[in-house]
Every structure is written in structure tokens, then in C-alpha cells.
Chain A
């Protein structure tokens, strides 16, 4: 219908007029038919059934989306963020290990070489995982490109350094510096960015999993309202107290509503527990681990540089309070401990406690290494930095790393358990809602058909 205020000079184009004419005639027909009692009943039946089918469809789709999101959380988003952090960890550790191997002099110790090789193998494998699932995230592709093109270049430089070292040439150290610069300036930032993207996606997926499906809720509430209103109308016009069909339909809608609400509440609680006791912990611990790896690299590179030209020790002083375990304001380890306590993550708490002990020991050892080196006792400083015996920095650091790994594993287990449980809460809900919607639609049809028959 034309709004009253429309200027008379503008007339609608002919095709629109004809469609409008068709719709208009339909509306006129319906209005005429609704003026009669049976017509009104038929209209109510069509309206209710349509609303029921629509509600059932929307509810089933949004619940299926939840099920998919939860499946994705445990099979896709979380493993992907773990792959991304493993890329960072392995590469950062490879860099620190290469520096340690260089410090140890001569042909590098078998253990360090093996550690480096394992790091590169794990980084490659994690990178393959990260690139296989790249499709959805456009920003991640750029990071994966940097990683996959520069990693072979890095390993090439390290091998060139190794060859020169074995021949006793100082150009080996130059190649190693170049490799380390490439790692720190290009590869590690890309890996860190990739991890950040994957961690953000995990958080977004968890938000999606705990969102209330508002459209479905609104439809279900209006459906319930419409059924009740129809029942009231029928009671008034037919003088019968209850229509069995509509009662069954109301029951089906009610059961669907209650079932969905309870299931979704259990699911949300599960996902939230998985986040607070699991993935948030893991994220905090991963960041700590990344910082600790950087600090270890700074520690060894200071000794490789022998004199603090490039400022590795300044880096250490600036960044490494975060992994000191001393409870200073910047200390992330102590904060992670509080987080774990709040989430009542017992296994993680224990591992973090142990890590705090290692971190304190490491920082004390680091202080002594600096004292020795600054005091002119370079050889003992090196021994203390790379020695694997108790009380040496390498031993402290590896223990710290192991305990962080344990805490991360505990967090991952919590995440997996809680999120899987959340998924179980939704078991059978989607087919259940579909069946209940069909029951409601069928019962509505039957109930009103019975009344309509009375007009024959």
C-alpha cells in the first residue's frame, strides 16, 4: 500500500504494480476467509505449524552449530594453537641450543646436537600441521609463509656455521650470528604472531560455544506464547476447556525448551571450566615459557658475544623478571600460580610451584654467572652456563622448562576433559529437538483439524 505522504507525481513502475496486485489479492482473499470461523481456525493452524517448523529448524541448526563448535574446540582450535606454540618453542630452543653448542667448543656435544635436531624436526612437523589448517585464517597464511620459506634458510646457515666450526674457522661464528639474527628478527616474530592468532581464535570459539542462541530462544518463546493464545481462543470460541492436540504441542515445546536450557547451561559451565582451568592457564604458561626461552638464549648469547656489544644482557635484565618466580610485580610465574589456585587446577599448581623453585635457582645462577664473567672468570662462567650438573644454569633452565611442560599438559588435560563433557551434555539434543518440533507440529494440526471437522 502506498504511504499517504507519497507525492502523487511518482507512480510505481508497472511490474511492481502487477506483483503488488497479486499479493494484494492474496491478502484480500485471506482477510475475507479469516472473517469466517473455519477460515480463522485454518489460518491459526497454518500459522502455528509454520512457526513450529521454523522454530524447530532454527533451534536444530543453532544447536548443531554448538555441537560443531565444541567438536572444533577439541579437535581443531586447541590442537592448532598447541601446534603454533610448539613451532615457537622448538625454534626458540633450537636457537638457544645452537648457541650453547657453539659455547661448548669443538665438536658439539652429542646431547646438544640431538636436542637441536629434535627441535627442528618438531618445528617442521608442527608447521605442517599449522599450514594444513590454514584455510580459514587469512592473516595466518602470511606468517606460515614466512616460517616455511625462512626455516630451511636458517638450518642451512646453522649447518654452514657447523662446517666452518669443525674446520676451526671463526667465520662459523659469523654464520651462527647471521642465523640467530634471522631467527630473532623474522622467524620467531612470525611464529609468535601465528600463536597469537590461533589463541585468539580459540577464545572466540569458546565465546561462540557459550553464547545464548537468541534467535532460537525468541522463536521458542513466541511459539509457546502462540500455542497458549490459540488454546485460549479455542476455549472461548468452542466452549471446550482443552484441545488435546494443542496440549500435546505445548508439552512438546516445553520439554524441548527445558531440555535445551539445561543442556546448554551444563555445556556453558563445562566450556567455561575448560577455559578457566584449562586454556587460559595454558595460554599464560605458554607465554611464560616463550619468555623463559628468550631469556635462556640471551644468557648464552651474552657469553658467545663475550662482552655485551648487542645488549643481550640488557634484554635479560629487562624481560626476565617475568620468569624469576620472586613474586615481583612483573613476575608472571607467581601470577600463573594464583590463576591456577583460583581455578582449583591442582596438578598445574604443583607443577608451577616446582617451576617457581627452578626459576629462583636459575636467576641465582644467572647472577653468579654474570659475577664470574664480569669479574674476568669467563671459563667458569661458561661452565656454569652450559653445564648440566645440579646448580648450573642449563640444568635449572631445563628443569624449569620440564615443569612448565607438565603444567601446560595438566592445563590441556583439564581443557580437554571439561570441553568434552560440555559436548556430551548436548548428546541427542539436536535430533530430540527435531522430533519434538515434529510432534508439536503434528499435534497442532491434529488438534485444530478436529475442530475444523466440526464445521462440516
Chain B
């Protein structure tokens, strides 16, 4: 007896469906919303990754021994001094390392400080950096190209020294040691890249991180973007499960969004060097001398404390290695 109303409803529904006059017109066409994506994002593709491990070379971080800090006539530095400006390839999207301060419009960060040390060594301590340094903002994927085409004098852009890149460009000695980690949402259960099988993980095109994601046995889905800050956007928009890259870059993202956390063991060390066009040995030795002095006279530490002091990243300058 209690079933009766149910039966009635069923009959009513059937009758409605069989009326033969069709359904009322549907005035609303949108049924779902697509979230916006950063420009140039690619899914499941590691084509732009920089394979560091495939090419073997002995001791890639050993650079040329530092030379004199004076600008010798006829040297690469003298040419730079002659044209009146140092062209530096940098980033404007990596918070704390190389970023555009939206309040002032100026480029700032640890890497930008490093450019300043080199510029002051060439043009003198009193030089106005806004006049003698020309910043050229480049993406991760463009770093080798701008050096080989000679469009920039140096690249200071969270640039990991590895054997594949050494075939195309020269590197200074290591000036910062980063390690690969993961950035996830605060409530995420992910504890390492092993937990990310089949899930989208973000990295910049042309970075070693992208290749590492693609090669990982847990098979996360690599998502490549043009700038690192695009990874933060995608993480905030819920389009990737994690960002996998150097702890330095991740620390910058964490500083912009307290709803994230850094997880995972410190994986491969990422030694940062300054990229210099191939064959300019005098420039490599000069830059190494500048770096060596900055590490000794506390300049390095001051910059570190200013930019990274609050993030808990490795606090001591690396010990540079040299070959002759």
C-alpha cells in the first residue's frame, strides 16, 4: 500500500515522457566552465626538458681558476666596458631570485644581486647599475640560445650546471646549491614524487626538473609552462597536484602563498652557475674571481640573508671547485 504513491509517480513520469510533444526548449547552453590556462602550457610532454644526466662528463661543477679582478685591455670585460653596458639574461618571475618588484617595477632578487657584483667589478663601485646593466628577461628554455647567439654577456637565472649544457655554454663556479623538492597544497597527503603517479606535476620548459618528472618511475604526468610563476598559478587554480623543482624556486612560491608546503626528500643537488658564452675563458675567470671575493667578504651572506634568510634554505655559500 505504501508503494502506491511511488507507482503513481512512475506512471506520471512515464506519461510525461510519452506525451509526444517533446521537451521544453533549453535556454542555457553552458554546462561547465573551463578554467583558464597560462599561455604556452603543455600537458604530458617533456620535449622541452634539459637532460642533464644523459651526457657524462667528469666533474661538471669544476670551473676555471679565478683570474685577476682588474679589467685587462683587450679582454671580454674591456669590450663590455667599452660598449658601456653589461647585458644579463635574467628572470622576472622567480620570487626571491629574479623577479620584478611590482611596487617599483625594478628587477630584484639574489640572482639580480649577483649581476650587480659583476657589473660593479667591470664598471667600478660607483657605477649606476640602472645605466650600466641591461636586463634581458629570458625563459628557462632560452638560456642556451641567447648565450650561443651572443645576445647576452652572462646568464644569471637559477641555472643548473650540467654536462649537456656544458657542451653549448661555459659556466662559472657554483655560487648556490639548490636541491630538488616538491611543492603541494597544505592539505595534500603527498609526501614525495612516488605518491604522484598519473597526477599532473608542473615544471618550466627547458628545465632539468621537467626531464626529471618525465623520467621518474612513478610516472607523474609532466605539465610544462613558460615561467615558474605559471606553475604557482596552476597550483593555485587546482590544475596541477604539485610543482617539482629546486627548493629555491619553491621557497619563492611558498613566500607568496602560505597555503602551500614543501615536501619530499632533498633529491639531486642542483648547483647554480653563471652561464657565459662558450670560449670566453677570460670572462669565466673574471666572474669566478668576483664570486670568490663575494663569498669571502660577506657580500654573498648579506644577499642571502636579505632574500632567503627567512626561508630556511641552505645558509652557507658552496665551496667552489676549480680545474686549471
**Residues of chain A in range 282-315 having any CB-CB distance to chain B below 8 Å:** 305-307, 309-310
Of all chain A residues, which has the CB nearest B253?
A: A171
Count class of interface residues, chain B: 35 or more
B145 to chain A, nearest CB (A): 11
| CB-defined contacts of A53 to chain B, threshold 8 Å | none
- Does B39 have its Cβ within 8 Å of any Cβ on chain A? yes
In the bound complex, do residue A306 and residue B135 qualify as a contact, i.e. CB atoms below 8 Å apart?
yes
- Does A368 have its Cβ within 8 Å of any Cβ on chain B? no
- Does A233 have its Cβ within 8 Å of any Cβ on chain B? no
| CB-defined contacts of A307 to chain B, threshold 8 Å | 89, 135-138
In the bound complex, do residue B102 and residue A378 qualify as a contact, i.e. CB atoms below 8 Å apart?
no
In the bound complex, do residue A103 and residue B105 qualify as a contact, i.e. CB atoms below 8 Å apart?
yes
In the bound complex, do residue A306 and residue B256 qualify as a contact, i.e. CB atoms below 8 Å apart?
no
| CB-defined contacts of A185 to chain B, threshold 8 Å | 39
| CB-defined contacts of A173 to chain B, threshold 8 Å | 92-93, 100, 102, 229
A190 to chain B, nearest CB (A): 14
- Does A47 have its Cβ within 8 Å of any Cβ on chain B? no
Which candidate, B28-36, B61-69, B272-280, is the interface stretch facing chain A?
Answer: B28-36
In the bound complex, do residue B142 and residue A174 qualify as a contact, i.e. CB atoms below 8 Å apart?
no
**Residues of chain A in range 92-119 having any CB-CB distance to chain B below 8 Å:** 102-106
In the bound complex, do residue A169 and residue B256 qualify as a contact, i.e. CB atoms below 8 Å apart?
yes
In the bound complex, do residue B102 and residue A174 qualify as a contact, i.e. CB atoms below 8 Å apart?
no
Of all chain B residues, which has the CB nearest A165?
A: B102
Knowing A102-B102, A105-B104, A376-B87 are in contact, say whether A178-B39 is a contact too (CB < 8 A): yes
**Residues of chain A in range 8-31 having any CB-CB distance to chain B below 8 Å:** none
Of all chain B residues, which has the CB nearest A179?
A: B36
- Does B176 have its Cβ within 8 Å of any Cβ on chain A? no
- Does A172 have its Cβ within 8 Å of any Cβ on chain B? yes
Q: Which of A106, A165, A166, A174 contacts B93 (CB 8 A)?
A: A174
- Does B99 have its Cβ within 8 Å of any Cβ on chain A? yes
Q: Which of A141, A170, A179 contacts B100 (CB 8 A)?
A: A170
Q: Which of A157, A309, A378 contacts B134 (CB 8 A)?
A: A378
Knowing A102-B102, A145-B29 are in contact, say whether A309-B137 is a contact too (CB < 8 A): yes
| CB-defined contacts of A376 to chain B, threshold 8 Å | 85, 87, 133-134
B33 to chain A, nearest CB (A): 7
B147 to chain A, nearest CB (A): 14
- Cα distance A341–B298 in the bound complex, in angstroms: 72
One digit per residue, 1 when the CB lies within 8 angstroms of any chain A CB and 0 when it does not, for chain B 32-65 equals: 0100111110000000000000000000000000
- Cα distance A187–B202 in the bound complex, in angstroms: 26
In the bound complex, do residue A309 and residue B142 qualify as a contact, i.e. CB atoms below 8 Å apart?
yes
In the bound complex, do residue A310 and residue B39 qualify as a contact, i.e. CB atoms below 8 Å apart?
yes
- Cα distance A379–B106 in the bound complex, in angstroms: 9
In the bound complex, do residue A309 and residue B138 qualify as a contact, i.e. CB atoms below 8 Å apart?
yes
- Cα distance A171–B39 in the bound complex, in angstroms: 14
In the bound complex, do residue A178 and residue B38 qualify as a contact, i.e. CB atoms below 8 Å apart?
yes
In the bound complex, do residue A171 and residue B135 qualify as a contact, i.e. CB atoms below 8 Å apart?
no
- Best-surrounded residue of B36, B105, B135, B257 (most CB of chain A within 10 A): B36
| CB-defined contacts of B248 to chain A, threshold 8 Å | none
- Does B227 have its Cβ within 8 Å of any Cβ on chain A? yes
- Cα distance A149–B101 in the bound complex, in angstroms: 32
- Cα distance A167–B30 in the bound complex, in angstroms: 35
| CB-defined contacts of B137 to chain A, threshold 8 Å | 305-307, 309
| CB-defined contacts of A175 to chain B, threshold 8 Å | 233
- Cα distance A382–B229 in the bound complex, in angstroms: 23
- Cα distance A164–B227 in the bound complex, in angstroms: 16
In the bound complex, do residue A157 and residue B95 qualify as a contact, i.e. CB atoms below 8 Å apart?
no
B158 to chain A, nearest CB (A): 13
In the bound complex, do residue B95 and residue A170 qualify as a contact, i.e. CB atoms below 8 Å apart?
yes
Q: Which of B36, B131, B138, B226 contacts A157 (CB 8 A)?
A: B36
A147 to chain B, nearest CB (A): 12
- Does A153 have its Cβ within 8 Å of any Cβ on chain B? yes
B138 to chain A, nearest CB (A): 6
Of all chain B residues, which has the CB nearest A152?
A: B33
In the bound complex, do residue B105 and residue A104 qualify as a contact, i.e. CB atoms below 8 Å apart?
yes
- Does A262 have its Cβ within 8 Å of any Cβ on chain B? no
- Cα distance A149–B36 in the bound complex, in angstroms: 12
In the bound complex, do residue A174 and residue B227 qualify as a contact, i.e. CB atoms below 8 Å apart?
yes
- Does A182 have its Cβ within 8 Å of any Cβ on chain B? yes
In the bound complex, do residue A105 and residue B105 qualify as a contact, i.e. CB atoms below 8 Å apart?
yes
- Cα distance A145–B133 in the bound complex, in angstroms: 48
- Does B94 have its Cβ within 8 Å of any Cβ on chain A? yes
| CB-defined contacts of A145 to chain B, threshold 8 Å | 29-30
Q: Which of B38, B136, B138, B229 contacts A181 (CB 8 A)?
A: B38
- Cα distance A134–B85 in the bound complex, in angstroms: 58
- Does A201 have its Cβ within 8 Å of any Cβ on chain B? no
Of all chain B residues, which has the CB nearest A172?
A: B102
In the bound complex, do residue A178 and residue B135 qualify as a contact, i.e. CB atoms below 8 Å apart?
no
Of all chain A residues, which has the CB nearest B109?
A: A170
Interface residues of B (CB under 8 A from A): 29-30, 33, 36-40, 85, 87, 89, 92-95, 99-105, 130-131, 133-139, 142, 226-227, 229-230, 232-233, 236, 253, 256-257
Which 3 pairs of residues, A with B, have the shortest CB-CB distance? A105-B105, A376-B134, A181-B39
Q: 5 A-B Cβ contacts within 8 A?
A: A104-B105, A170-B95, A310-B39, A375-B134, A378-B134
